[in-house]
Every structure is written in C-alpha cells, then in structure tokens.
Structure 1
Amino acid sequence: MSNADTFIHLLAGGVGGTVGAIVTCPLEVIKTRLQSSSCEVQCSAVRTLRTATASNAGCNASHMYFTPEMNWNVYYHHHQCTSINSRLAVFPESVLQWPASTSSAQPKGALSCFRHLVEQEGCRALFKGLGPNLVGVAPTRALYFCTYSTAKRKFNKILTPDSHLVHMCSAGSAGFVSCTLTNPIWFVKTRLQLNRNQNVTAWQCISNIYRSQGMVGFYRGITASYFGISETIIKFVLYEYLKVTLQQWRETQADSSMSNYVALDYMIAGAISKTMACSLSYPHEVVRTRLREEHSRYRGFFQTLHTVFREEGYRGLYRGLSTQLVRQIPNTAIMMTTYEAVVYLLKSLIDDKRYAETE
C-alpha cells in the first residue's frame, strides 16, 4: 500500500506541476525579467540620456547612449567633435541620477515588459526557458509531493497527527529535497529567461556555465532557495488548514449540493495559501534571481539582500511581486486541483481493481 501511495503522489505532483507551468510560462518570464538588476526594460535597445554624470567620466560629452546590461550599465560617450564612440565607461546603477523628465528612464512594469518582449524579441520570448521548466517542473513537483506525503506519514507517527507542526516539518523536508536535487535545472531556466539572445539554446547555456564555473556554478542561488523553504512551509500549513475548514463548513450547510464543490475548495485553499506565503517570503526570489545572473556582482544571500535594500530600497526587494501573484494564483490553483484530481482518480482505479479481484 505504501509503494502504491508513493507512486500516486509522485505522478500526481508531476502532472499538476507540468500543467501549471505551461499555462503560466509567459508570466514567469516577465517576473524573472522584473526581478533582475537590469529591470529597467527599454522600449528600444538604445536610448539617449542627457545627464550630468558625463563630467564624472572625465570627458566632454553632451549625450550618453545607454544600453541596459546585467548588473552594470555600459555607457558609450559620444563626443561633439566626432561621430565615433571613442570611449567606454562602466558605472554601478547606484551612481546614476535618472532625469525626472525622461519617462523612458524610469523602471517599467509588467505590461511594458510584455510589450518589449514581443516587439524586440518576438512572441517566442514569452516562452523562454519553457524547455528546462518542463524538464524540471515534473521531477520537482513529483519529488516535492512524494517527499511531503512520505514525511507526513512518518511525522504523524511521531508527532500529533495532522497537526500544524506535522505540516511544517513535512513541507520543510519536501522543500529541502526538491531544492537540492533540481537547482541546476532552475538555474539554467533563469539564465535563459534573462538572456536577450533568441538563438541561445539550453545546451549552449549549460556548456557556458560549466566552462566558466564548473559544477559549482549550477548551484548559485541555492542558499536563497533554502530560505525560500519558508514559503512552502507557510503555504502548506495554510493550505491544509483552509482545506479542512472549507470542507467542514460545507458539511454543516443545509443544502446538500454544497458538499459537491470539493474541487472549488482545493482551488480556493491553494490560491489563498500561495498568495499569503508568497507575499511574506518574496524577497528571497529577487535575491535568487540576482545571484543567478551572468557576471553577477552579488556573492551571497545576505550580501545581496543588503545591497538590493541599500541601493533600491524595500521596493527593490518586491520587484515583480504583482506579476508573481498574478502568475502564482492560477498556477497554484491549477496545480493543486490537478494534483488532487489525479490522486483521487488513481486511488479510485486502485480501489476498483482490488474490489474486482476480491469478487
């Protein structure tokens, strides 16, 4: 029975995660772009800035041509006397004072990011990283739900059955196992989503990472993922509580038809629990994206957290949150509903088979 139950949760988790990932992939790409340090997405590849920082570069420049790069901004100083870009200077983003009158210099939102992706990189850009996402989401969700159900069974024997502590320990164990085993897949996915070169393939990205950093490079940002386990703990504790509460409420209703909305209970519980958990622990996602950037100047979890807060304020730690919520609510609702539906169907098939064998 134990092996059959493990297989059911393994398959259900994989199917649920895959369906959710396909439906919400464009929002995932936009969220990753907004989280990155190059989130000042431009409507054109190069824009002109009139700024006083030209004097800080040691040259007499009237215009500065800006190209958004990862973590650092590259400025080509165009001299009045020549049309040749004769000098290259590199500044941290914190050095610059954006002109208030230049609207294109302000950070863009999700809608502008969407338009930029479609106009500059084509509709295919909305599905960047989908390959690694599909490769990773099934084993990640399968490992997660399998570990969660197994750990829950074990902790129920040690602790008070179905208590909040059991759900917390189970979710923490599942998050640690899935993060550790699948971090390289998500690292490649993030790199592809941040890469503006449409022709870069997943295999080329893997080769570049291995050549420049070795196997250790695939685990950049894993510390942030470990801190992100708190999100899964909060989510599953709330999910289990809301699911039971909604079911008990429907059972007390005089209308017998109210007890038939089991799938709706799963969707509501999944959406609410994910929204609250994501809002509370979101900064770890921004930190993780920054650590996974190419040529990143960020080195560790706390150093990145401190740097982002010092340079960009608390808003920098919550960049892309609205897009993440818009993505996660349907993603979690679809994933949890599919998961519960597959578990129900497989258990029904197994019970029917056993009943037929006993006749």
Structure 2
Amino acid sequence: MASDGSVKALKDEGTPTQVAAAGAIAGLVSRFVIAPLDVIKIRLQLQTHSLSDPLSVASAQGGPIYKGTFGTLKHILRDEGITAFWKGNIPAEFLYLSYGSVQFLTYRRTSAFLSSLPPPLGPPPEPFLSFAAGALAGSVATSATYPLDLLRTRFAAQGRDRYYAGLRHAARSISAHEGARGWFAGVGAAVVQIVPYMGLFFAAYEGLKPALAGAGAPLQALGSGDAVAGTVASVFAKTAVFPLDTVRKRLQVQGPSRGAYVHRNIPIYQGVYRTVRSILQREGPRGLYRGLSVSLLKAAPASAVTMWTYERAVGAMVLMERKIADIVD
C-alpha cells in the first residue's frame, strides 16, 4: 500500500478517465455524508414565513414551522421518520456522480488549456487561471446535471403526503405539465450562482493548499492540508453566493406541484430578479439567508470529503496503473 506522501505526490497527475472517475467517487462519498443536512437546508430555504411575525406564521396554511437546524431535524424525525433525511437521494446520487466527473474533468482541461496559451495571451496568472477554470467547470457541470438537481429539491420538499410517487412519475409529470422549461426552472440563478462560487472556491483552494501543505501535526489530525483548504474555501464561497441558492430553490418548486409540498404557502415566483425582490419585500434580507447556518455546516464536511477523496482516488489509480505496467513489463 502506498504511503500518504506517495499519494499526495501524485495528486496532480492522472489521465482524463482517472480524473473523471475520481471526481465521481468523490461526489458519491460526499453526498452520502451530507444528505440529511441537505434536506434540512432545503426545508428551511422554502419556509417563507417569518417566525417573528405572528400574522406570517398564521399564514403557513398547515405547513410546519421550522426553528433552526436542530429544531428542523427533530421536527422531520418526529413527523416523517429517519428515512425522510434521504428524500431525493437517488437523483442526488446521480447528480453528485455526474457533477463531480464533469466538474473535475472540465477544470483540469480548462486549466491545461489556459496554461498552454502562448504569450501575449498566456499563461494567465494563477489566481485568474483558477478562477476562470473553476467558474467554467461549475457552469458546465451545473447545466449538464440541472434536471437531477431539480428532482432532488422537489423530492426533499415533500412531506408525508407525496405529490410525486417516484422518479418515473415525477419525470412523466414534469414533462407532461411543464415541458422542457420545467426541467430547467431556476437554472439562471444556478449558473449566476455557480460562476462566482466555483471561481472563488478554486481560487481560494489553490491559494490555501500550498500554505497549509507543511502546517504539521494540527492539520494531520484533520486528514491533510487539502481537506482544510477545501473546507475554508467552500465556507468562504458559499456565504458569498447563498442568496442565489435560496432563489434557485424557490424557483425549482414552481409549477403545478407548488401547493403540494410540506410548505404549502410558497408564492409564485418568476425570474431571478423578481424572486429576489419578492423575498426582500415579504421576508426582508433574512429571507435570502434562511438555512445559511446548516448550509455552512454542510459545506465544510462536503468539500473536505470531496477534495480529500478526489486527491487520493486519483493518486491510488495512478499508482495502480504503474504497478500493472511494471508487472506487464
């Protein structure tokens, strides 16, 4: 078995196939770890009433009133059981599987292309290179996998009374009643969100990674400098773009199923700008940040596990390929 140092020495290598496979593995592992937190976050983001406004609470129309991360966890566990924390997990697993592959492969190829540009076009300075490659990777991955993201949100938004009986029923219903546009409701907010998020994430990650590489014992207890760099970069980027994530979730549950979710008072929204304006008018600035705490709580383990698993998966596959080549030779 290769030492951790050997794997880390190989982390920047790998064929396109190995990069895609490592990204897929990292996505699957990450999704399994953070699935319950994701459901809690979605439920909080879709809660439109303010807890400080009695009239607003009264307008919840029979929907649950969630109070904070732990309160939401207890509420879901009591009313729906532990399996509720994995609602939407099947489309989410496919989402993370495909998203991770497309994201890392696009990032690697874009980085290589920009690095190979001849003067005076390039190669660009490192901060810009990481930002551009990360933004493009996020945009491509988000657009390619968006229908799966929409399904994940709609299933997570369902309470005990289910509008969608399963994936096949959901696919037929969306296609029949909403058409192709229904599959991409809120995609504008997603792309606008992911460009700065992935750009900031990869720029921060690449900037922190060398500085944390030799930090010693404290980081070894957490796994590696890669994991810590991924955590810090994700928290920073997530906070900056969180309002757009809330807008995306609100737009994803529009359509004929809007009144059938656990929150039955979700307003009608149209477009990113109008949704932001509506949330500010109805709920104030706090409405755009509802669920931020659990989102940050989710972002830390998700990104740490993703980057840690990705780096080691690539290294392990490269080492295996070399061993096989040595045996054949």
* TM-score bracket for the superposition, by shorter chain length: 0.7 to 0.9
Instruction: Write the distance in 2 (CA, Å) between the matches of 1:237 and 1:126.
Output: 32
- Contact 1:13/1:145 (<8 A) preserved: yes
* Aligned position for 2:6: none
Q: How does 1:35-74 map to 2 (within 5 A)?
A: 35-38=45-48, 67-68=61-62
* 1:157 alignment counterpart: 116
Matching of residue 204 in structure 1 with residue 169 in structure 2: yes
Residue type of the alignment partner of 1:242: L
Inter-partner Cα distance in structure 2 for 1:259 and 1:285: 31
Alignment of 1:118-133 (within 5 A): 118-133=77-92
Cα separation, partners in 2 of 1:198 and 1:126, compared to 1, 3 Å: farther
Partner Cα separation in structure 2 for residue 338 and residue 22 of structure 1: 13
* Aligned match of 2:261: none
TM-score, normalising length: structure 2: 0.82
Q: Which has the larger radius of gyration?
A: 1
In structure 2, distance between residues paired with 1:183 and 1:193: 15
Name the CA shift for 1:65/1:284 in 2 (closer, same or farther; >3 Å). closer
Q: 1:14 to 1:344 in 2, by over 3 A?
A: same
Instruction: Tell me how far apart the structure 2 counterparts of residues 206 and 197 of structure 1 sit (CA, whole Å).
Output: 20
Q: Say if 2:31 and 2:302, in contact at 8 Å, map to a contact too.
A: yes
Give the structure 2 partner of residue 217 of structure 1: 182
1:300 is aligned to: 271
The one of 145, 148, 153 aligned to 2:107: 148
Instruction: Quote the residue 2:293 is aligned against.
Output: 322
Work out whether residues 48 and 283 of structure 2, in 8 Å CA contact, stay in contact via their aligned partners in 1. no
**2:230 paired with 1:282:** no
Secondary structure of 1:298's counterpart equals: coil
CA distance in 2, matches of 1:262, 1:121: 34
Query: Which amino acid is the alignment partner of residue 271 of structure 1?
Result: T
* Partners of 1:40 and 1:68 within 8 A in 2: no
Tell me the SS of whatever aligns to 1:10.
helix
The secondary structure found in structure 2 opposite 1:228 is helix
Q: Which of the numbers 233, 236, 260 marks the counterpart of 1:273?
A: 233
Distance 1:267 1:119, change over 3 A: same
User: What does 1:76-95 correspond to in 2, within 5 Å?
Assistant: none
The alignment covers a number of residue pairs equal to: 297
The reply on whether 1:242 has 2:193 as its aligned counterpart is: no
Match of 2:34 in 1: 24
Please give the per-residue CA displacement for 1:257-277, whole angstroms capped at 9, x wherever unaligned: 899889511110000000000
Q: Does 1:334 align with 2:305?
A: yes
Superposed CA deviations along residues 87-108 of structure 1, whole A, max 9, x for unmatched, are: xxxxxxxxxxxxxxxxx97x62
Q: Could you tell me which residue of structure 2 aligns to residue 264 of structure 1?
A: 224
The one-letter amino acid of 2:138's match is G
Aligned to 1:82: none
Q: Does structure 2 retain, via aligned residues, the 8 Å contact 1:40–1:108? A: no
Q: Which runs of 5+ in 1 are unaligned?
A: 42-48, 54-63, 70-103
TM-score if structure 1 supplies the norm length? 0.76
Please, which of 5, 14, 20 is the counterpart of residue 10 of structure 1?
A: 20
Give the deviation of 1:122 after TM superposition: 1.5
Letter in 2 for 1:305: V
CA contact (8 A) 2:49 2:60 kept: no
What amino acid sits opposite 2:99 in the alignment? T
Distance, in Å, in 1 between the alignment partners of 2:54 and 2:307 is 51
Give 1:310 deviation, angstroms: 2.1
Q: Distance in 1 between matches of 2:79 and 2:136?
A: 42
* Matched position secondary structure for 1:240: helix
**CA 122–263 in structure 1, closer or farther in 2 if over 3 Å, else same:** closer
Q: 2:290 aligns to what SS in structure 1?
A: coil
Task: Summarize deviations over 1:217-271 as a string: whole Å, max 9, x none.
Answer: 0000100111112111100100011112222x45xx8xxx899889511110000
3-state DSSP class of the match of 1:24? helix
Partners of 1:260 and 1:65 lie apart in 2 by: 51
State the Cα distance separating 1:18 from its structure 2 match: 0.5
Residue 26 of structure 1 and its aligned partner are, at CA, apart by 0.6
- Does the 8 Å CA contact 1:168/1:237 hold for their aligned counterparts? yes
